Amino acid sequence: MKKGCLVWLLVGLGILLLIGLSAFVTIKNYFNTFVTLEENVNQRWAQVENVYQRRADLIPNLVEVVKGYAKHEKETLQAVVEARSKVGGQIKVGANILNDPQAFARFQQAQDALSSALQRLMVVVERYPDLKANQNFLELQAQLEGTENRIAVERRRFNEAVQAYNTAIRKFPGNILAGMFGFKEKAYFKAQPGSEKVPKVKF
């Protein structure tokens, strides 16, 4: 009788151990998946920041070249400079912004305002044929156009990474574990009305 009780006790302990081990492995796998997906989002965000920084770095040179030819366009040039300065403090804000929807929205609004100011500047350039023929301007224009394309690509890749992450932390039973470990949804880049296409910088 005592031997039978001991066997059942060992079997019960073995079953509990297997259940505990299975639960540990499941939780570990979910946690590691969330970490991997979140790091992918962070890496994609770093690329978004990188291309926005590239654009911001091009703007002072572009403004200087345009200023030499379009002295009477102070208002437009000032709008570009101001939009760039607003963006300047937000570039390289880090992945922490992804956990703050309001800060993320402000970042996107500042970038959209800069895009809009650049588009107005390019319209002004049409009035100055000598500027459009300037080699420095042509090189800057080509770099800016390439950068705008990169921005669109990196934003799309970022949104894809966010979608994979958000889906994983919202699916059952991952949503329970994600809540326990503090994984929160990330914000997407959203297009402004009428901005479905990459800005065209054509001359």
- For residue 171, give its domain range: 36-181
Residue 144 resides in a domain: yes
Residue 199 resides in a domain: no
H-helix segments, the chain? 2-69, 74-88, 101-125, 129-133, 135-170, 174-181
Q: pLDDT of the chain along its 203 residues, tens only?
A: 577 788 888 888 999 999 999 999 999 999 999 999 999 999 999 999 999 999 999 999 999 999 888 877 888 888 999 999 888 765 556 778 888 888 888 889 999 999 999 999 988 888 888 888 889 999 999 999 999 999 999 999 999 999 999 999 999 999 999 999 999 999 999 876 655 455 454 43
CB atoms within 10 A of CB 114: 23
pTM over 0.75: yes
Residue 130 resides in a domain: yes
Half-sphere exposure of 91 (CA within 13 A, CB side): 19
What are phi and psi for residue 202, nearest 5 degrees? -115, 145
Residue 166 resides in a domain: yes
Residue 186 resides in a domain: no
DSSP state of 96: G
Residue 193 resides in a domain: no
Split into its structural domains, the chain has a count of 1
Q: How far apart are CA 124 and CA 86, in angstroms?
A: 22
Residue 172 resides in a domain: yes
Read off the CATH number of the domain in which 115 is found.
Answer: 1.20.1440.20
Best CA proximity match to 69, nearest among 117, 131, 139: 131
Residue 80 resides in a domain: yes
